[in-house]
Amino acid sequence: MYVDEAAWRVEREAVLHSEWFCVGRLDALGLAEPSRVVVVDVAGESVLVTSDEDRALHASYNVCRHRGSQLLAAPPDDAPPVACAASALRCPYHSWTYALDGRLLRAPHADLDDTTAFALDPVGVDVWGGFVFVHLTPQRAAPLAEAVAHAAGTLANYGLADLVVGATFRYEVAANYKVLLENYNECYHCGPVHPELCRLVPSFAGGGDDLDWDAGIPHREGAWTFTTTGTTTRAPLPGLDEEERTRHKGDLVYPNLMVSASADHVAAFVLRPHAPDRTTVECSLLFARQAVEAADFDPGDAGDLWDLVNRQDWAVCESVQRGMSSRSYRHGWFAPMEDDSLDIRRWLLPRLAGPAGGAS
């Protein structure tokens, strides 16, 4: 389930293509403005997300209903998706033209009695906390609110929808996306892998057996946020309670959004799985708009720490992926303090056993 190409194809169809999938921040994608279109990749499926003249979002498969040509070219894997201006979508093959909501507007030299039958195949789209999610099988989609319910409660005071991107880091990680999710979900590894982080948050060094993520994790004395010094000149985010102003919180929205919240900023990780052993990670540091617009704004104190911790994580995840690919590997054993990392199985296995997965 971590190294096999056939298992990956089954999981991609049954899970990644059948769940709400985060494609990025509304502002970073460029969809906060009207009359825009962006091409995003959803585990191998190319999807168009548009913002019409009224800023309403729409999404569809990037496939012309005539002969199947893609309407727009996708950016390369190493480039972030960014929206461009558009008043309509025209296929480059035969000039079939679609409205931003997917309706067929024009089919040259074709006499079509019912143009509604040739609308672009729809994809579900919704927004939570400033994050854009799509669903490739919208006819079977539960409300997005159900998928984000736990994170919405844990992070309710951080005003995610009002934050803006102040720094972005992109990584190509040679590991299965589940390895990254499991690594995020446990701190058993923090002592040996993250010495700098453990000096900032001493309780991480103990392996995380008694960490209360719902209440937040306290920093060392004199520190209150995730930066190289544990402090910053930026003010805490408005709306935080007393504990949140000095503690760190985190949550995970399956299958591909990890959120780590500090008092003055939030780190959001969007995972883009490409293959059993290849995942692009986009880490965005989100700040209050007022802080980003300040003349002296410098996210380096947070960015330097996050980039260090991220690279430590990706290196050990790649080591796990290589080890899992060994002919000697059978199955891992999980310590009690790693119980949260088993959540991926509790979440994943029932979905693989469904109609699209067919697993026992």
176-232 pLDDT, tens digit per residue, is 999 999 999 988 899 999 999 999 999 898 765 667 878 889 999 999 999 999 999
Residue 174 CA to residue 62 CA, distance in Å, equals: 27
Domain over 21-147 is classified CATH 2.102.10.10:
yes
Residue 350: left (phi > 0), alpha (psi -120 to 50), or beta? alpha
Closest CA to 132 of 69, 83, 193: 83
pLDDT of residue 207: 62
Helices in the chain by DSSP H: which ranges? 5-11, 26-29, 144-147, 149-154, 177-184, 190-193, 195-200, 289-293, 300-324, 343-352
Fold of 157-352: Naphthalene 1,2-dioxygenase Alpha Subunit; Chain A, domain 1 (3.90.380)
CB-side neighbour CA atoms (13 Å) of 180 = 33
Residue 204 CA to residue 210 CA, distance in Å, equals: 10
Sheet holding 89-90, edge to edge: 89-90, 97-98, 104-106
pLDDT of residue 340: 76
CATH 2.102.10.10 residue spans of the chain:
21-147
Residue 349: left (phi > 0), alpha (psi -120 to 50), or beta? alpha
Maximum Cα interatomic distance, the chain, rounded to a whole number of Å = 74
Taking 70 as the pLDDT cut, the residues of the chain under it are 77-78, 207-210, 355-360
pLDDT of residue 130: 98
Tell the residue number behind the tokens 């991107």, with chain if given.
165
CATH 3.90.380.10 residue spans of the chain:
157-352
CB-neighbour burial class of residue 85 (10 A; exposed 0-12, middle 13-18, buried 19+): exposed
